[in-house]
Amino acid sequence: MAAQGAAAAEPDGNRVVPGGTRSRSDEFQFNEERMQKLMRWVALSAVAMMAVVSSGCSYNTFVSQDEAIKAQWAQVENQLQRRNDLIPNLVESTKGFAQQERDVFGAIADSRAKLAGATTPEQKMAAANEQSSALARLLVVVENYPTLKSDATFGRLMDELAGTENRIAVERMRYNEAVQAYNTQRRLFPSNIAAGIFGFKEATLFQAPESAKVAPKVDFSRP
């Protein structure tokens, strides 16, 4: 009987209790594992809560930036339309002196039609850049007609065009700044998570063609 009692005993108080009850060391280990799981759950919950709060803030930021882009694009459109409305008078004034330049006039007419038919910002950007290139070709043609350059009506129209081109350049720059801020925010963590969840896609920059980087200018100093 004494031998059986000794065999049932465990060192350091780790005694196997009849009926399968856990020893004190097993109970301690079990509680420690539960505590670790609880701590992991709390940590994950905190991270998830922070992500939700951050996503909400990012969403509001994206909405504000998106509205800023739309507002600035409207200003770009206003100046593009101003130029589009000016072109017919400019072309008619030029035709009186250079009727044989049909290719140039045709390119300008095509660009106006494309701009009028464009429905998305990307289409309007492409049409506007095509129009800028066509106008640059027109200025090259003008240099070959001294009489045209001395015409008062043509000179006034060219001044209006130069002013409009400057306005387009300014509004394009402001639009691109708004787009750049939005696109940068969209790539940052954790804003990129909110962008993916809420479908905020990358905005398109309005890149100017080489011919549009300098405002139209005709040298009227020569006869």
Per-residue pLDDT 10s for the chain (223 aa) are 444 444 444 444 445 445 555 566 666 666 677 777 767 766 665 555 555 545 557 888 999 999 999 999 999 999 999 999 999 999 998 988 887 788 999 999 999 999 999 999 999 999 999 999 999 999 888 888 888 888 999 999 999 999 999 999 999 999 999 999 999 999 998 888 888 888 999 999 999 876 555 544 544 444 4
pLDDT tens sequence across 135-164:
999 988 888 888 888 899 999 999 999 999
18: left (phi over 0), alpha (psi -120 to 50) or beta: beta
Global pTM value: 0.72
Token pair of 66, please? 């998106």
Q: Look up residue 166 and give its amino acid.
A: N
pLDDT tens sequence across 44-65:
655 555 555 455 578 889 999 9
Measured distance CA(59)–CA(139) in Å, rounded: 47
Nearest alpha-carbon partner for 164 in 150, 94, 156: 156
